[in-house]
Structure 1
Amino acid sequence: MAFGKYVAVVLGIAVYFLGTKLERDANKLMVKFEDLPSDIRRWRDLGKTVTINGHEMFFIYKKCRDKTVKKPATFALVHGFPSSSYDYHKVIDELAMYGNVFVNDHLGFGLSDFPVDNYTYSLGEAAENLLSVWRHAGLKKAHVIAHDMGDSVITEILARRHRKMLPSYFDRFFQSVTFTNGGMRFDLINFRITQSICMYPMIAKPLVKFGNMMGATEYTFKKQLLSVWSPFVEDVEDRDREIHNLYILNAYKNKILHNYKLCYYLWDRSNFEFRWFGALRELDIPSRFIWSDSDAVSPVTIPQSFETMVPDFKMVIVKRNGHFWMLENPKRWIEEAVRVLN
């Protein structure tokens, strides 16, 4: 660790003296709205933004497409790190045949604002914002499906529910909760090297800027994401396109240069597991763990560890799929998502 701090200091000094070049390179890296791929621009056109706690948050609320469904259920989908609601672009239309679908971008992600100063990106803040945007959209009850960091945002909300700290508006909100691949057990996460670095801003900040100066930002980001895709993917072209779009959404408005700030949630996972596990032990709403088995970062040992903790434990293992299996295998994802309606 001492060596890491030394390296950070040296790089910090180098970055300071090369500030002009870094700013010039940062402007080259930045993706503006007009530079976004057409499919992401179409995704934006499906939604709108709302001011939540002083910042603009993007969301889509797609109503049920099947008019024969008299009282459609609502699915609230919660994305993770380092992605956005766009993770669900392959499933939203088909899922809307079964009910209403709500998705949003957390602050700092996707098409939502990315406040750089005076904001910690804690899971507590993410939970507050999510509750606020749900309420703004008028969601009264929902089947919640979370992924990655989204799992921890939801467990924070469930902990508040368990302690009777939620507003009365949410007394009957949760019809069910589904957890999909995420680091719900800190000690079982297989951290990517970039996650480990970004947990220490003093090291991450100069390294990110130095990597950008050397032209390595895009390569490193895509390489890390490639490592969590399943090795069994057949459509490599589609995989590479999805990874590229994930990168583009992170480079949008230069967010990628400050992405290390978003990793604060990892410290929250470490510090507040005891609080979340207490709520899960006494969970009184239907819950499921649906996990793909070829995830290099969130292995199946994570959901298995909850078997003796969560009441009426239910787990489904999806074979030969990676971390972002809603993108790898959208048909299977939908099949599992709608089972809660039965």
Structure 2
Amino acid sequence: MALPGIALADWRAQGQGFSFGGHAIRYWTAGPADGEPLLLIHGFPTASWDWHYLWQPLAERYRLIACDMLGFGYSAKPRAHLYSLLEQADLQQALLAHLGVDGPVHVLAHDYGDSVAQELLARHHDGHIQLASCVFLNGGLFPETHRPVLMQKLLLSPLGPLLGRLFSRAKLKANLTKVFGPQTPPSESELDAFWALIAHNDGPAVMHRLIRYILDRREQRERWVTAMQKGGVPLRVIDGALDPISGAHMVARYRELIANPDTVLLEDIGHYPQTEAPQAVLQHYLTFRQGLDRA
């Protein structure tokens, strides 16, 4: 049975706000107030609406928390800001503090959000946050297996500021079509929503600044991979195998580097499994959590 999802206008109306470093951040919560906290962390270049198909089913079981990170979606997009993945991890911790969450937190992350989750995992081992589990969807867990698309490479180049400003819905469609599975392309209404989130508050003007996360990943590679290798926090990867950026080849590397790897490959799915195959992602996520409950 297909999951109904949430229309973008309805999603936006449910958002709340708080201030982080003087910047306005939009966030969403759902589920029982006394439920186990589940922090959902979105990817680049979209926003937390990416989780809309999974939102209600997960909210029946867990206390959901998600925000549009700085520079994304309906949150502030300061022009001259030096964006970093470490700051985005600070933001996640600030949001948890704002909501009074001080116990163990489960994490479900995608793409750019995977790197933020890796930093939180490293902070867990440093004693600065408590993670109960972490599940990664398609993302660049290892710089050596990340295969950025041409647009990402160009945004990192000296042409980045110009190309960001020229980014359009048509270019978004062309880029997403390349990374979604051939049988599960984004619909026109999904593209409209993705573009609305990117375009809000002139988001294309900061894309060349956000893309520097690729450099952050290289710099933090040893810290983050070591954190995944330490154990103690249950991990799972749910990955669309056909993703040219971080598909089956990334999972192969994960299996090489992580002891007793828990991985799920969705054979016909691309880079956005939570929108391409939300029912499968939900099933594999709940199975993972049920396994934790039985352990």
| 1:192-234 deviation per Cα after TM superposition (whole angstroms, max 9, x unaligned) | 111001112x31113344x36xxxx32212211111111012x
| 1:149-174 deviation per Cα after TM superposition (whole angstroms, max 9, x unaligned) | 1111111122233234x1xxx3xx31
| 1:304-338 deviation per Cα after TM superposition (whole angstroms, max 9, x unaligned) | 21224324321111121111111111111111121
SS at match of 2:268: coil
- The correspondence for 1:42, drawn from 10, 29, 51, is 10
Structure-2 residue corresponding to 1:28: none
Q: What is the one-letter code of the residue matched to 1:63?
A: G
- Do the aligned partners of 1:120 and 1:264 also contact (CA within 8 Å) in 2? no
Tell me, in whole angstroms, the C-alpha distance in 1 between the residues paired with 2:247 and 2:62.
Answer: 30
Tell me, in whole angstroms, the C-alpha distance in 2 between the residues paired with 1:162 and 1:252.
Answer: 37
| 1:75-102 deviation per Cα after TM superposition (whole angstroms, max 9, x unaligned) | 2111010010000111101111222211
Structure-1 residue corresponding to 2:282: 334
RMSD (Å) for aligned C-alpha atoms: 1.9
Q: What is the one-letter code of the residue matched to 2:163?
A: L
- The correspondence for 1:325, drawn from 248, 266, 273, is 273
Q: What is the one-letter code of the residue matched to 2:91?
A: N
Q: Does 1:247 align with 2:195?
A: yes
- Do the aligned partners of 1:325 and 1:333 also contact (CA within 8 Å) in 2? yes
| 1:278-322 deviation per Cα after TM superposition (whole angstroms, max 9, x unaligned) | 212213111111111121211222122122432432111112111
Once the two structures are TM-superposed, the CA of residue 129 in structure 1 deviates from its matched residue by 0.9
- Do the aligned partners of 1:182 and 1:298 also contact (CA within 8 Å) in 2? yes
- The correspondence for 1:265, drawn from 213, 216, 234, is 213
Q: Does 1:231 align with 2:199?
A: no
Q: Does 1:313 align with 2:261?
A: yes
Structure 1 pair 64–335 and aligned structure 2 pair: CA distance change class (3 A): farther
Matches within 5 A, 1:48-87: 48-64=16-32, 72-87=35-50
Q: What is the one-letter code of the residue matched to 1:133?
A: L
Q: What is the one-letter code of the residue matched to 1:284?
A: G
Greater displacement, 107-116 / 253-262: 253-262
- Do the aligned partners of 1:122 and 1:268 also contact (CA within 8 Å) in 2? yes
Tell me, in whole angstroms, the C-alpha distance in 2 between the residues paired with 1:262 and 1:297.
Answer: 17
- Do the aligned partners of 1:291 and 1:300 also contact (CA within 8 Å) in 2? yes
TM-score normalized with structure 2 length: 0.90
Matches within 5 A, 1:1-342: 39-64=7-32, 72-117=35-80, 119-139=81-101, 140-164=103-127, 166=128, 170=129, 173-200=130-157, 202-209=158-165, 211=166, 217-233=168-184, 239-342=187-290
Tell me, in whole angstroms, the C-alpha distance in 2 between the residues paired with 1:125 and 1:239.
Answer: 33
- Give the paired residue count: 284
Once the two structures are TM-superposed, the CA of residue 240 in structure 1 deviates from its matched residue by 2.5
Structure 1 pair 121–337 and aligned structure 2 pair: CA distance change class (3 A): same
SS at match of 1:223: helix
Tell me, in whole angstroms, the C-alpha distance in 1 between the residues paired with 2:206 and 2:112.
Answer: 18
Structure 2: 5+ residue stretches without partners: 1-5, 291-295
TM-score normalized with structure 1 length: 0.78
- Do the aligned partners of 2:124 and 2:131 also contact (CA within 8 Å) in 1? no
Structure 1: 5+ residue stretches without partners: 1-37, 66-70
Tell me, in whole angstroms, the C-alpha distance in 2 between the residues paired with 1:337 and 1:100.
Answer: 15
- Do the aligned partners of 2:247 and 2:270 also contact (CA within 8 Å) in 1? no
Once the two structures are TM-superposed, the CA of residue 126 in structure 1 deviates from its matched residue by 0.8
Q: What is the one-letter code of the residue matched to 1:180?
A: L
Structure number with larger C-alpha Rg? 1
- Do the aligned partners of 1:74 and 1:100 also contact (CA within 8 Å) in 2? yes
Tell me, in whole angstroms, the C-alpha distance in 2 between the residues paired with 1:143 and 1:340.
Answer: 12
Tell me, in whole angstroms, the C-alpha distance in 2 between the residues paired with 1:338 and 1:142.
Answer: 16
Structure-2 residue corresponding to 1:15: none
Q: Percent identity?
A: 26
